Amino acid sequence: MSYRPLADEIRPTCLDEVVGQKHILGEGGLLRRIIESGNIPNLVFYGPSGTGKTTVANIIARQSGRTLRRINATTGSLSDVKDVIGEVGTMMAPNGILLYLDEIQYFNKKQQQSLLEVIESGDVTLIASTTENPYFYVYNAVLSRSTVFEFKSVTAEDILPAVDRGISLMEARLGEKALCGEGVREQIAGACGGDVRKAMNAVELLLNSGRREKGNILVTLEDARAVAQRSAMRYDREGDDHYDIVSALQKSVRGSDPDAALHYLARLLEAGDLMSACRRMMVMACEDVGLAYPQIIPIVKACIDAANMLGLPEAAIPLGDAVILMATAPKSNSGCEGIFAAMADLKAGRTGDIPRHLQNVHADSAGMEREQGYLYPHAFPGHYVKQQYLPDKLVGVQYYRYGENKTEQAAKRYWDEIKGE
């Protein structure tokens, strides 16, 4: 008998056995009602790996009586799609074909377009799955003819019964009783990052390699931790998870929540992505704290320099300090809004000649400044004199508006007094 991975052996055969996804597969859930009706539309399943997308496709094929054909877009081609289409109306697919296209984001536009004719005619029902956002990666014509369902990461609480089932199946397979130390089951369920497949792989590895004693398999918490290390991390530097974590980090700092900020920083660092953490923190210092606490910029830069000097894991210490400081600092995006407003004007063509008295003079030493009419501010009281600086077409435009924090308001009071405003 050939080897069969535990993750395949434990795969659910009915909707009630699917782990998690209660929002779409629970009693009254929309996807559950669609499946039970037997009228299956074209579907797009979107979510992390190991959350049941392939399992649900298999259940749909089984319950609808349709022939299931599977193509993985990472290795598939147009000829594979044509082969599937060629089975329509034959004895090989008497009740129609359900095409499960895994990782559809790897099909280019032309390949995805090839699906349109058959899914519109109803000869083939398409279930496409993707770990990326389908609204970015699935061709719009395919998307508009499909119903999208999001599969969410599974909680440790949801996975625990599957861990117990996996242990029971392994005991039957090995003919031995598993003696799991305290916390082992919870460690496996919690450390798999919402991926049932990872949890089953951990169970299989632990029981196959566990120490034997008097006909029992000893599974220790230490072993469980070793097997599951870092498996809780869902992270792809080119995928949605990367951008979601970086976005959550900045929004947590902007929202002045140091605990959430530390959590997302830890996720970046645990994945070994020191570069993204440092780059994003520099952005936050300038964009979100900015002029409310301008000293934050050199402080964060110093922390980043220290982190890069130390390397991981010690880099977490100065970066943690910097994140907490930014999250608890006063906030201002006035500088950010100001420069973006100025850039927007330039892109819209709102510009003009630089006033003559501001232009560069190559013979400054000859006293050409006076001929330009430039007024030297340092020669006036308060180091200020009123004169035009913007081009004629932009006179009166205001890009920067003082923030309401005490630092910028203090600057405003100072200049209001100097300028007599």
Residue 390 sits in a domain of what CATH number? 1.10.3710.10
Please state, in angstroms and rounded to a whole number, the distance separating the CA atoms of residues 329 and 324.
Answer: 8
Give SS3 for 46: strand
Instruction: Identify whether 364 is part of a domain.
Output: yes
Of 58-67, 92-101, 355-364, the poorest mean pLDDT is in: 355-364
Q: What is the C-alpha separation between 249 and 403, in angstroms, rounded?
A: 23
What does the pLDDT read at residue 264? 92
Residue 176 and residue 125 share a domain:
no
Same-domain pairing of 282 and 301: yes
272 and 311, same domain (yes or no): yes
How would residue 94 be classed by pLDDT, with cut points 50, 70 and 90?
A: low
CATH of the domain at 118: 3.40.50.300
CATH of the domain at 246: 1.20.272.10
Instruction: Answer whether 113's CB lies under 8 Å from 145's CB.
Output: no
Determine contact, residues 35/21, Cβ cutoff 8 Å.
no
357 plus 385 within the same structural domain:
yes
Instruction: Specify if 5 maps to a domain.
Output: no
User: 3-class DSSP state for residue 78?
Assistant: helix
Q: Which residue in 413, 409, 408 sits closest to 289, CA to CA?
A: 408
Dist. CA 127–CA 119, nearest whole Å? 10
pTM: 0.56
Q: Do 101 and 218 fall within a single domain? A: no
Instruction: Kindly report the number of other CB atoms within 10 A of residue 217's CB atom.
Output: 21
**Residue 9 · residue 169 · CB < 8 Å:** yes
Say whether both 119 and 95 belong to one domain.
Answer: yes
Residue 92: pLDDT band with limits 50, 70, 90: low
Any domain includes 213 = yes
* Domain match, 249 and 293 both: yes
Please identify, among 328, 347, 364, the residue that sits at the C-terminal boundary of a domain. 328
In a domain, 103, yes or no: yes
250 with 315, same domain: the answer is: yes
Q: What is the DSSP string of 302-341?
A: HHHHHHHHH-TTTTHHHHHHHHHHHHHS----HHHHHHHH
Among 302, 328, 354, identify where a domain stops.
Answer: 328
Amino acid identity of residue 46, one-letter, is Y
Nearest one of 36, 15, 40, 137 to 96, comparing CA atoms:
40
Q: Are residues 117 and 162 in the same domain?
A: no
Tell whether 143 and 113 lie within a shared domain.
yes
Per the structure, the complete domain to which residue 162 belongs is given by 156-228
The domain boundary, picked from 91, 116, 150, lies at: 150
| 6 domain-assigned | no
Q: Quick check: is 10 in a domain?
A: no
Is the confidence at residue 202, as pLDDT, over 60? yes
CA 57 to chain centre: 25
Strand 216-219 versus strand 43-46 pairing type: unpaired
Residue 32 lies in a domain: yes
Is 234 inside any structural domain? no
- Look at strands 97-102 and 43-46 and give their pairing: unpaired
Spatial neighbors of 43 by CB under 8 A, at least 6 apart, are: 126, 127, 128, 146, 147, 148, 149
Interval 25-79: pLDDT, tens: 988 899 999 999 888 899 999 988 778 898 999 999 888 888 888 888 888 788 8
* Count of structural domains, the chain: 4
pLDDT at 354 over 70: yes
355 shares a domain with 323: no
| Same domain as 71, residue 49 | yes
pLDDT more than 70, % of the chain: 91
Residue 211 has pLDDT above 90, yes or no: no
